[in-house]
Amino acid sequence: MSIADQPVADVRSAVADVNLPARIMDFARLGKPGLTALAVVATFFGYWMGAAGELQPGVLLGTLMGALAIGAGANALNQYLERDRDALMERTRDRPLPAGRLTPVEAHCFGFLSAWCGLGFLVIYAGSIPAAAGLVTLLLYLYVYTPLKAISPWSTIVGAVPGALPVLIGWTAATGAIGTTGWCLFAIVFVWQIPHFLAIGWYYRDDYRRAGYPIWPVVDARGIKTGLHAVTFCLILIPISLWPTRLGAAGSIYWVGALVSGCFMVAAAVAMTITRSPSSARRLFWTSIVYLPVVMALMMLDKQG
């Protein structure tokens, strides 16, 4: 092989060493597909509940694309900011950044571009109010919740705000304003997140302690306060979830389903408070996972007006 051919051979060798499907999957993992999917579902739910008459496919698709890109971008930037702590936790150390499969520069660029593309989608297809809600989601998640998570257990409450804002992105894309019903839908998702994340925190409390996150399950060694917080928010969730019927947004079928579902949440939270075992925390987690789509589906199917 001649000297002139050597650079070409090096490039071919480097390209051959790159596992493109694996890299694509790692970029997808940066966006935390589960959380991003939840944001997209919440956006669709908000749009569906706010839409009057026929859906506008262009607006809906653009709104969902915006929520998808913002969610992926926010989660990628969150992993960029937390990469050193992620390396200390069993459940996160295999993420693309701490595992060394992607570089911080790659993650930062991916997150930044994705987030701004998402805002662009919302501005073009949904309007200024949904775009503002998307921007607030990014700012709160990255510059308030993420740093607060390392210094205060109240970060869970703060983090629930950007977690619930996708509902308002969808709602305002359909209605052009927030209104009482919009705030009600936001409140349901906001309150639901607290017991959901307390269950995760209790199950993985050793991991969070190792990484230096002072969440409630870490600072509350006995777990009694953690359990009581979970029970309290599950109890609050019941009247808030019944509010859409009083507002005329959902019917009696939804009301009954939401009440029964809320009782299951309370029962699971009480069980975790009493036993404070990993199995009871997992039970509350999975109960919450089932609760939200059930309540959303019932409200969409029993939508009034």
What CATH number is associated with residue 154?
Answer: 1.10.357.140
The reported pLDDT for the residue numbered 17 is 52
Looking at the structure, tell me whether residues 168 and 80 fall in a common domain: yes
pLDDT along the chain (305 residues), means of 10: 47 52 92 95 97 90 97 97 94 94 96 97 96 97 96 95 97 95 98 97 94 92 92 98 96 97 98 95 97 97 90
In angstroms, the Cα distances linking 287 to 155, 156, 292, 303 are 23, 19, 9, 24
Contacts 24+ apart (CB under 8 A), 272-275: 272/199, 272/202, 272/227, 272/230, 273/223, 273/224, 273/227, 273/228, 273/230, 273/231, 274/227
- For the entire predicted model, the pTM comes to 0.91
Domain count, the chain: 2
> Would residue 13 count as lying in a domain?
no
Pair 169, 66: CB distance under 8 Å: yes
Domain region containing 139: 20-177
Three-class SS of residue 303?
strand
Last residue of one domain, picked from the residues 177, 198, 217? 177
Looking at the structure, tell me whether residues 212 and 249 fall in a common domain: yes
* Look-up of token digits 């996150």: 213
Looking at the structure, tell me whether residues 193 and 115 fall in a common domain: no
Looking at the structure, tell me whether residues 166 and 190 fall in a common domain: no
Which tokens sit at 209?
Answer: 């302690």
> Would residue 3 count as lying in a domain?
no
Looking at the structure, tell me whether residues 167 and 186 fall in a common domain: no
DSSP 143: I
Looking at the structure, tell me whether residues 238 and 136 fall in a common domain: no
CATH code for the domain in which residue 186 is found:
1.20.120
Looking at the structure, tell me whether residues 107 and 201 fall in a common domain: no
Return phi, psi of residue 97, to 5°: -75, -55
Q: Please, which residues bridge with residue 303 across strands?
A: 250
Looking at the structure, tell me whether residues 121 and 183 fall in a common domain: no
